[in-house]
Amino acid sequence: MFDYMVVGAGFAGSVLAERLAADGGKRVLVVDRRPHIAGNAYDHYDDAGILVHRYGPHIFHTNSREVFDYLSRFTEWRPYEHRVLASVDGQLVPIPINLNTINQLYGLELSSFDLEKFFQSVAEPRETLRTSEDVVVSKVGRELYEKFFRNYTRKQWGLDPSELDASVTARVPTRTNRDDRYFTDTYQAMPLHGYTRMFERMLSHPNISVMLNADYRDVEGVIPYREMVYTGPIDEFFEMRFGTLPYRSLRFQHETHATPVFQPAPVVNHPNEQAYTRVTEFKYLTGQEHPKTSVVYEFPCDEGDPYYPVPRPENAEIYRAYKALADETEGVHFVGRLATYRYYNMDQVVAQALTTYARICGHKAAPARSGGGGRRASAAATP
């Protein structure tokens, strides 16, 4: 008998499994339908012996000391500040847009002060910043919006920025100084030996069993457990009762090149001309030395593994219906990017999982259960 069945071995599931086992003394079974742990943060050595991220570039950054300290129990770190170039008008310029971006793009020598005035002259003021278009156009005007954001966003999401919540493009700031870092968080570092190694250490506890290549629906009827932590897509859990929640997917094209360096930056964004959004060269992220180099191209698509919840009002409404059902479902805790339908970074998922653990600690255990159908059927009837 397990105390907990944890569905998903990504950040949400692994943090909860670790806390429940190591702090709570619970017996935990972690189930993942993929053939590996670490969820989307999974990294591995490819055929050339280069450490790559199977599901696209994962750069760790956080302002939370608690999150950083917690993960530091399972890994050492390599300091790393991420930088990105955008391919625009035949040039490679820094993104987030900063003073150097504008000077290089237009062949100018503006000061920060001049740039502030320039932005003010081109910005289209908006009363409320409701959409992802509003956020950018109200800051840097239409021309820069079209060069850097409009097409990238249409490609990435299959939607115009005017159809997406402001929070999406608000992830990328605009600067009038020369700071060309992608993130400005207090803690910015990569796990020294990779994410997968860090997850191995989180999950290597005598109270934790891990079952891979297993959908929980195939095992829940045969393996008895008391409570569940669910980190998969929330609509799938409730068998699409209120319709499907859109999750945007990606096709990853991994390549190895027989040259030590492929491109001049860790990530190059391609907003306009290409079908892919960005190209990542992993050795910049990991610091690995190798005579060859491996890169990944990201091609956004609708079909495939769910990677991104799509932040827009109609989806939030569907999610609210599922959330209400989830709140009534006793003995199941919904955590993570897919289960709470939030466009969360890794550190936010860790914080959410730690908060969930604290909440669980205040709860008393539910009665034992083993049959899957019973749990879901009783969920709707629970007041």
Residue type for position 311: P
Which residue, 64 or 72, is less far from ligand UDP as judged by CB?
64
- Tokens 């608000």, located at residue: 170
Binding ligand UDP by CB under 6 A: which of 152, 187, 225, 247?
152
**Which residue number is nearest to ligand FAD in terms of Cβ?**
39
Binding ligand UDP by CB under 6 A: which of 16, 29, 95, 105?
95
Binding ligand UDP by CB under 6 A: which of 16, 85, 86, 190?
86
DSSP 77-110: EEE---BEEEEETTEEEEES--HHHHHHHHT---
Backbone angles phi, psi at 280, to 5 degrees: -115, 135
Task: Kindly state the tokens that stand for 160.
Answer: 């115009």
Residues in contact with ligand UDP, shown as a per-residue x/- string from 62 to 81 under the rule CB under 6 A: --------------------
Cα–chain center distance at 65: 19
DSSP assignment, residue 337?
T
Q: What is the footprint of ligand UDP within residues 120-149 (CB under 6 A)?
A: 148-149
Which residue, 207 or 345, is less far from ligand UDP as judged by CB?
345
Cα 53 to Cα 296: distance, rounded to the nearest angstrom:
9
The one segment of 19-27, 165-173, 198-206, 355-363 that binds ligand UDP by CB under 6 A:
165-173
3-state secondary structure string across 100-151: HHHHHHHCCCCCHHHHHHHHHHHCCCCCCCCEHHHHHHHHHHHHHHHHHHHH
Distance of closest approach, residue 136 Cβ to ligand UDP, in angstroms: 8
Distance of closest approach, residue 375 Cβ to ligand UDP, in angstroms: 33
How many residues in the chain?
Answer: 383
DSSP 7-19: E--SHHHHHHHHI
Nearest in space to 303 (alpha carbons), one of 232, 216, 244, 237: 244
Site of interaction with ligand FAD (CB under 6 A) = 7-13, 31-34, 39-41, 55-59, 215-216, 231-232, 250, 307, 336-338, 344-347, 349
Cα 11 to Cα 339: distance, rounded to the nearest angstrom:
12
Distance of closest approach, residue 307 Cβ to ligand UDP, in angstroms: 9
User: Could you say whether residue 171 binds ligand UDP (CB under 6 A)?
Assistant: yes
Binding ligand UDP by CB under 6 A: which of 40, 101, 153, 231?
153
Which residue, 11 or 148, is less far from ligand FAD as judged by CB?
11
Out of ligand FAD, ligand UDP, none, what residue 41 binds, judged by CB under 5 to 8 A for its kind, is ligand FAD
Contact residues for ligand UDP (CB under 6 A)? 86, 95, 148-149, 152-153, 156, 168-169, 171-172, 269, 271
